[in-house]
Amino acid sequence: MQYTTLGSSGLKISRIALGCMSFGDTSRGFNEWALDDDDAEPLFRQAVELGITFWDTANAYGYGTSEEIVGRAIRAYTRREDVVLATKVFFKMHDGPGGSGLSRRAIVEQLNDSLRRLGTDYVDLYQIHRFDPGTPVEETMEALHDMVKAGKVRYLGASSMWAWQFSKMQYVAQLHGWTRFVSMQNQYSLMQREEEREMFGLLADQGVGSIPWSPLAKGRLARPWGRRPLAAAPTTSPAGSCPTTTSPSLTQSSRSPRSTACRWPRSPSPGCSATRWSAPPSWAPPGSSTSPMPLPRLTSRSPTTRSARSKSTTPRVSPPATDQNAEGHRYPLCATRPL
């Protein structure tokens, strides 16, 4: 495993992160394919053996049950001081005034609930899951800063928003002397390249690390081209629904990376999803899986190192056509699902 620092911060992380959306209690109705403690054990053990120290979850995953499973896994298979633990806040947890969004009340309430479920008194990286247009940026950034000063959070991160929104939040924090974001968790893969337009340039300029989610495009980049997933039925979630793997929108947007993907080795490597030519300061894609088998391939190749030949011969592909959703971001694979 290779390690780096997250953006321009001093936080040392593994270059591959363990995405924890795959863990949870299916009876809560969040996702039917989630793994419980017993089924998730091989993945946690393998992550520890491979040196994956960066574990990323969210309060909304499994309606809190992902955090509970992650907390128990840390106590069972490793030590808290050996894990860089990240979680998120924004999506609806209950109907009360502190149940969703990025108001001061929501941030304080949801962070305390996350700490209780994780069984720890602090998180290393606390991320806002989306931009909240209903809350003043000043209120959000000051509340997050207060959580850092209270010792409950070490670093702050953001996720899935337009570059101008992220820039505004960073500016407000700097203007008032509050804690700034050190990371951006954004959707990025061969099939979703919107971030190359403005976000990656902003991150590089500001010294902010990139944590791309869904780097394998819902699994379509993890198997030989043309092979369909085992389950083609649509998956629903509290924030919306994903189209089936045979929907016209997926079929259309999936054509773009074909010429690029075929230039990589026949054995599919998750590392091939990293197609940026100029990277932000750090690059740590979360490897979220329901099987331990892909993890050795994830760690066998650094996502940021490729031969000079592959750099020069891999063609650029145009970003696929996408639709804008209510959160102000573009998702060709899943319009409104909180990943």
Active-site annotation, residues: 61
Spatial separation of the C-alpha atoms in residues 193 and 288, rounded to whole Å: 19
Count Cα neighbours of 17 within 13 Å in the Cβ-side half-sphere: 30
- Give CA separation, 256 vs 225, 233, 240, 324, in Å: 12, 23, 25, 19
Rounded to the nearest 10 degrees, the angle between the axes of helix 104-118 and helix 65-77 is 40
Classify the C-alpha dihedral 95-129-193-14 as positive or negative. negative
Spatial separation of the C-alpha atoms in residues 298 and 50, rounded to whole Å: 10
> Per residue, what are the HEC states of 144-155?
HHHHHHCCCEEE
- Please list, in sequence order, all residues whose beta carbon lies within 8 angstroms of the beta carbon of residue 79, skipping any fewer than 6 positions away: none
Q: Residue 43: what are its φ and ψ, rounded to 5°?
A: -70, -45
Spatial separation of the C-alpha atoms in residues 296 and 284, rounded to whole Å: 16
